[in-house]
């Protein structure tokens, strides 16, 4: 059964509950293309039927995901709310489960009541056709969660919207904010498709630039580094003009796990970008591999300055965050065992083994498919 934004059977609930976020995976799109394709959603739906226990449903879905289990632990997401879960299978592809449960939490022994699938393509009917491909690029770009951040998806969104021109790019950003607006009416749809308006903030931060003599881009010093919020002095525009993004060799990284407290004013910030900033003049064109770019950042004096008032553990955790983002963005170029070891081990030794991969010889950014690849330029 496919999920429809208009017919939401099995996902309309009488009471609102606080959602608990459980991170269960990493989306390695580039790796999927060259290694293992995810099993079809029809095959999963055929196996996960009404009456299947949650324990068995999760096992079936985990086995169907591309790659190994650990590489999914960073950014595939599942929200457990009143009686439903969403599992991501690929960019913008989800399996949605509802359960028969008497409690507020779903237990491993609770049973599936209904199962359906959702893909962003379902929303074509409510997005203008001339904007759909650009709105979809925004949706596939990362939100304000560093543990799920993929540099390549952000590069693709920024470059794609830049190619569309300022007017169409602005319309697409506004449409995505409208589409993902939180409301009681949109709650089920937003949940099913993982619609998150905060995605536009990172796209706009790179798609637009401050005008001469204009004020800096909107402040985002509320984004944490490690376990604490950055001081305004540390997050100053002079030191980190695009915080929470750090761009090195035209590759964006995000060394922040997210924020605490109230979220940003998405609409106000977007309006500032659209009306008070210039449109990006050129594409993001990475000039180095992400592994090297991540090292360049973490060995810089600016990097050390971030952690002057914080623990060494915060610095180690944040360095690991950037390394995972680098690995995720070029996973298709690395031996699967070396990749898994680097993601799991997080030691300097495992990281350095990635640099010795012979397959990286000649690897570079290819502007046509918008990804890191190997072979002649």
**Using one digit for the tens of pLDDT, what is the confidence trace for 49-59?**
899 998 999 88
List the chain pLDDT tens, one digit each, 377 residues: 555 544 343 343 322 222 222 323 333 233 323 333 445 677 787 889 899 998 999 888 888 776 533 333 323 334 444 588 888 887 888 888 888 776 667 788 889 998 988 899 999 999 999 999 999 999 999 999 888 899 999 999 999 999 999 999 999 999 999 999 988 888 889 888 989 999 999 999 999 999 877 777 888 888 887 766 665 445 566 778 898 999 999 999 999 888 887 778 899 999 999 999 999 999 999 999 999 999 999 999 888 877 765 666 788 888 999 999 999 898 888 888 888 888 888 789 999 989 888 778 889 999 999 999 987 77
Q: Is residue 255 classed exposed, middle or buried when 0-12, 13-18 and 19+ CB atoms within 10 A define those classes?
A: buried
Q: Evaluate whether 48 touches 60 at the Cβ level (below 8 Å).
A: yes
Domain co-membership, 133 together with 223: yes
Could you report the per-residue pLDDT of 152-208, keeping only the tens digit for each?
A: 999 999 999 999 999 999 999 999 999 999 888 888 898 889 899 999 999 999 999
Q: How far is CA 120 from CA 135, 264, 367, in A?
A: 10, 24, 24
Are 255 and 154 in a shared domain? yes
Q: Any residues with CB less than 8 A from the CB of 159 and at least 6 apart, and which? A: 283, 284, 370
Q: Do 220 and 242 form a contact (C-beta atoms < 8 A)?
A: no
Same domain, 106 and 222: no
Provide the residue range defining the domain that includes 202: 124-279
The Cα–Cα gap between 292 and 132 comes to 35
Q: How far is CA 128 from the centre of its chain?
A: 24
Q: What is the pTM of this model?
A: 0.85
Whether 349 is covered by a domain: the verdict is no
Q: What is the pLDDT of residue 147?
A: 81
Instruction: Identify the pLDDT of residue 87.
Output: 85
CA–CA separation, 194 vs 87, rounded Å?
10
Structural domains counted in the chain = 2
Kindly state whether residue 359 falls inside one of the protein's structural domains: no
Last residue of a domain, one of 65, 88, 123: 123
* 285 domain residue, yes or no: no
55 and 168 assigned to the same domain: no
Q: Which of 156, 155, 164 is nearest to 132 (CA)?
A: 164
> What are the distances in angstroms from CA 188 to CA 18, 86, 168?
14, 11, 28
């Amino acid at each position: 059964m496919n999920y429809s934004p208009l017919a939401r059977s099995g996902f309309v609930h009488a009471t609102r509950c606080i959602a608990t976020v459980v991170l269960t995976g990493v989306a390695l799109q580039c790796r999927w293309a060259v290694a293992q394709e995810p099993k079809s959603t029809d095959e999963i739906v055929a196996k996960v039927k009404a009456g299947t226990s949650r324990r068995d449903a999760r096992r079936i879905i985990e086995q169907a995901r591309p790659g190994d289990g650990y590489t999914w632990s960073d950014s595939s997401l599942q929200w457990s709310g009143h009686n439903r879960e969403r599992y991501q299978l690929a960019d913008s592809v989800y399996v949605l489960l509802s359960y028969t449960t008497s409690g507020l939490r779903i237990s491993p022994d609770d049973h599936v009541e209904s199962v359906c699938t959702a893909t962003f393509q379902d929303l074509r009917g409510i997005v203008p056709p001339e904007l759909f491909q650009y709105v979809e690029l925004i949706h596939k770009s990362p939100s304000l969660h560093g543990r799920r951040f993929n540099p390549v998806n952000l590069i693709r969104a920024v470059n794609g919207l830049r190619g569309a021109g300022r007017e169409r790019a602005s319309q697409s950003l506004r449409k995505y904010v409208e589409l993902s607006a939180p409301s009681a009416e949109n709650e089920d749809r937003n949940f099913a498709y993982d619609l998150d308006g905060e995605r536009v903030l990172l796209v706009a931060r790179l798609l637009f630039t401050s005008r001469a003599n204009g004020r800096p881009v909107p402040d985002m010093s509320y984004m944490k580094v490690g376990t604490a919020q950055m001081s305004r002095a540390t997050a100053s525009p002079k030191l980190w003009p695009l915080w929470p993004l750090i761009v090195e060799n035209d590759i964006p990284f995000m060394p922040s796990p997210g924020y605490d407290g109230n979220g940003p004013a998405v609409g106000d910030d977007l309006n500032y970008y659209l009306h008070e900033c210039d449109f990006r003049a050129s594409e993001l064109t990475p000039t180095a591999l992400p592994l090297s770019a991540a090292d360049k950042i973490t060995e810089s004096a600016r990097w050390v300055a971030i952690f002057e008032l914080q623990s060494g553990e915060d610095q180690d955790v944040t360095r690991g965050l950037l390394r995972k983002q680098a690995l995720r963005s070029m996973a298709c170029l690395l031996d699967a065992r070396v990749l898994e070891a680097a993601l799991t081990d997080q030691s300097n030794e495992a990281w350095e083994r990635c640099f010795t991969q012979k397959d990286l010889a000649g690897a570079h950014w290819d502007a046509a498919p918008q990804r890191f690849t190997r072979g002649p330029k």
